[in-house]
Amino acid sequence: MNIPGAELAVLEKMIRDETLELAEKYEIEWSDKSNFRHSSLRIYLQLMFDNRGFDCLYYTCLQDARDIFKRNGTFNNIKKYYDVKLINASSNTYGHYKQRIEVIGPIHKLK
């Protein structure tokens, strides 16, 4: 999900109308991390992901990805951060989320 500046509103709506559970995986670009006005909503959304049964597997940084791809590397070569605080606040950060198997919604169980 790459919607610069709008991911917060879209994700908040998805949590409220319970459409978040329609997918089992999300890769979300958390843009504008240094904007303190968005900090509390971003933290709320990340907590709601956990509450809705999603684990954050790791974070990646856009600049790291660019550097790896310039060297013809693959996604597996990109550094994975397990603590978002270790990524520069001005860097675009991607959170990689996966729904826990025990909470996969009824739509997915029909498959």
Which residue from 104, 98, 102, 8 is spatially nearest to 56, judged by alpha carbons? 98
pLDDT score at 111: 44
**For the chain, what are the domain ranges?**
7-109
Each residue's pLDDT expressed in tens, for the chain with a length of 111 residues: 778 778 888 999 999 998 988 889 999 988 766 666 777 888 888 889 888 889 999 999 988 999 999 999 999 999 999 988 888 777 788 999 999 887 655 555 444
User: pLDDT value at position 77?
Assistant: 95
pLDDT in the model for residue 103: 60
Q: Which residues contact 63 (CB under 8 A, 6 or more apart)?
A: 91, 92
